[in-house]
Amino acid sequence: MSATIIDGKAIAAAIRSELKTKIDQLTGRPPALSVVLVGDDPSSHAYVRMKRRACQEVGIRSEVLLFPSSIEESTLLSEIDRLNQSPEVDAILVQLPLPKHLSTSKVLFHVASEKDVDGFHPVNAGLLLIGDAQAKIPCTPLGVQELLMRSSFDPAGKHVVIVGRSNIVGKPLAALLMQKREGSNATVTVVHSQSEHLRSYTQQADILIAAMGQPHFITPSHVREGAVVIDVGISYQGKKMVGDVMFQEVKQKAAAITPVPGGVGPMTVAMLLKNTLQCYLENG
C-alpha cells in the first residue's frame, strides 16, 4: 500500500484563491501587512519575498521595513510603536531570526496583540490556550489544521502525537488541536528530546506530526500502519530541502503523508494571508 500524498501546494493555492475572492469584495482600502526585516540574512530576505508575492496575489498591500543589523533595540521598538499606532497598518510581522544583540521576546511582545499576525504575543498565546475566538493563531499550526480538515482527516477523537514543543509550532499546535471546537477535539500527546521511549508514543498516533528540525528522523518503525503523517520539518542537505520524515519509506506504511517541500510550507504562507485578513476585519 502506498499513502495518499497530501498536496499542500494545491490546497494552499485554493485557499489563496478563496481569500482573493473575499478581498476583491471589500470596499475601502485593502488589508495591509507590514513586515519588519532586520539585517541581510539571505534566507530571511527570500522568505519575505515569498510572503510579499503571496500578498500581492490575493490583493493584500504589503510593505517591508528594512533595518540594518546594527539597529539599536530602542529604535526598533519605536518603529514598531509607529506601526502599532498607524491606522493604515492592520498586521505586523517581525521576520525571525533577529540579530543576537536584540531580544527576540522583547521585540515580539512589543507588537500590538491585535496586529500580531504571527500569534506570538503572550496575549494571543493565552487566548489560544483558553479557546477564545479572538486569538491570532500561529500560521504553521493553523496551516496543519487546515491541511488535515481539507484532506478529510478531521482530528476529532483521534490520537495526535506531536514531536516537538516549540513556542512556534509544537505548543500552539497542541493547544489548537485539543480545543473544544470543529477542526480540533483531538487527544494530543506531545513528545520532545527529553521523552523516554519516544517511539512507543509515535507508534500510537492516528495522526503523527513531526516538528523537530531533524532530517529524516521519523522512520517506518515510528509509524503505525495506516497513520496520517504530517511533516513540518524543514532542513537542508546541501541545497536540497528535506523534512523530518523518511518520506519514501514511511509512505509505504502511512495512509496519507505530506511531502517536503509542498506540504506544510505553502500552508504557513496561506495562513499568514488569512490572519492578515482577520486582523483587518477585526480592527477595521
Binding mask 257-276 for ligand NDP (x = CB under 6 A): -------xx--x--------
51 catalytic residue (yes or no): yes
Binding mask 213-242 for ligand NDP (x = CB under 6 A): xx--x--------------xxxx-------
95 catalytic residue (yes or no): yes
Contact criterion met (CB below 8 Å) for 235 and 214: yes
Taking CB under 6 A as the binding criterion, the range among 69-77, 118-126, 165-173, 181-189 that sits at the site for ligand NDP is 165-173
Of 198, 243, 195, 193, the C-alpha closest to 223 is 198
Contact criterion met (CB below 8 Å) for 2 and 251: yes
Q: What angle do CA 24, 28, 29 make, to 5 degrees?
A: 80
Distance from the Cα of residue 214 to its chain's centroid: 18
Distance from the Cα of residue 204 to its chain's centroid: 25
Taking CB under 6 A as the binding criterion, the range among 40-48, 94-102, 127-135, 209-217 that sits at the site for ligand NDP is 209-217
User: Is the CB of 21 or the CB of 43 nearer to ligand NDP?
Assistant: 43
Peptide bond into 220 cis (omega under 30): no
118 catalytic residue (yes or no): yes
Peptide bond into 266 cis (omega under 30): no
Total residues contacting ligand NDP by CB under 6 A comes to 24
User: Strand runs (DSSP E) across the chain, as ranges?
Assistant: 4-5, 32-38, 61-67, 91-94, 159-163, 187-191, 207-210, 228-231, 235-237, 240-242, 256-257
Given the residues 118, 206, 231, 244, select the one marked as catalytic.
Answer: 118
Binding mask 167-206 for ligand NDP (x = CB under 6 A): -xxx---------------------xxx---x--------
CB of 41 to ligand NDP, least distance (A): 14
Active-site residues: which are they? 51, 95, 118
Contact positions vs ligand NDP (CB under 6 A): 140, 163-166, 168-170, 192-194, 198, 211-214, 217, 232-235, 264-265, 268
